[in-house]
Structure 1
């Protein structure tokens, strides 16, 4: 019973002291000159909001030089003086804007693509892949070209001359046979 009375006494003391402690005020500190608001951070009368409403993405994220990639982002500027730019050491953009870019002939590796929307930025990474080289060996021989491995032709020049002679003789015989029929 003694323990209960002690606990009840502490509870009552807490209930009496707590409201006074909660309502007590601390003295206001005088602002120091270093605590003044910075002039570098302008206060927007419309309230804070992000200018970048959809972060920058690059699709495909891996490409070879010469390939086209699509950039997707959304940016809302507050005034005409705010510029929207996209920069990358690996991409070149056409006159149509920043919707697509062509991968430059750069060293393979990872390159940053950065969107600047007024004072805000968003970045994505583009991996430039090595260019696959074509075969530079010129094919030779029968399997690749349809020819033979040795000198061209199937026989000697004498065999070719004999075949041409037989053809000429046969043609002459045909002409003589037609003349004989006409008579």
Structure 2
């Protein structure tokens, strides 16, 4: 029993002392932020930004088959520096004509469009929307006959309708009168 009390007391003392010791061991001075590093390419004639207007795609959301316009400006240092645009979602009419593209028939989602201007790049995003698939053809049944077209079996000008209504009301009145006379006869 004494051993259990001793172990419980030692555990309680550890729980009380341990957090204070941990806090005392931590530094209270804030960490110095890391120095930003740049890895700009070194050019023999000095620094130069080749992409002078970042790449944009308009419209930014399009369905397959839609024509999109790419806007950018790239300044190269010579004919050996190639300018290309690459994307899994775009097709270009002619190589080197990077201002216009057509959205390919690809899965809907976001795709990256990358401009390569010599050693520099610029990227834009293109969201391909789902193509509206044509639904099944609707079969149209042409109505035929009187009930489907709204026609009647009588005259088309409606001249027989008032006469038929008057005959029906007369028969109803005659039947009601007969019913009243039959009830009176039973009461007597």
How does the TM-score come out when normalised to structure 2? 0.53
Question: For residues 86-122 of structure 1, what are the alpha-carbon distances to aligned partners after superposition, in whole Å with 9 as ceiling and x for unaligned?
Answer: 0000000011601110000000000000000000000
Distance 1:54 1:98, change over 3 A: same
Task: Give CA-to-partner distance per residue, 1:55-98, whole Å, 9 cap, x none.
Answer: 00000000000001000000011011111000000000011601
SS at match of 1:139: coil
| Structure 1 residue runs without a partner (length 5+) | 1-39, 142-146, 155-183
Once residues 89 and 81 of structure 2 are traced to their aligned partners in structure 1, the CA distance between those partners, rounded to angstroms, is: 25
Gaps of 5+ in 2: 1-38, 152-188
Cα distance in structure 1, aligned partners of 2:40 and 2:53: 23
Q: Distance in 2 between matches of 1:104 and 1:90?
A: 5
Which ranges of 4 or more aligned residues in structure 1 deviate by more than 3 Å?
40-43, 149-154
CA distance in 1, matches of 2:41, 2:109: 39
Q: How many residues align?
A: 111
What per-residue deviation string (whole Å, max 9, x for no partner) do you get for residues 105-143 of structure 1?
A: 0000000000000000000000000011233132333xx
Superposed displacement of residue 43, structure 1? 4.0
The DSSP-based 3-state class of the residue aligned with 1:126 is strand
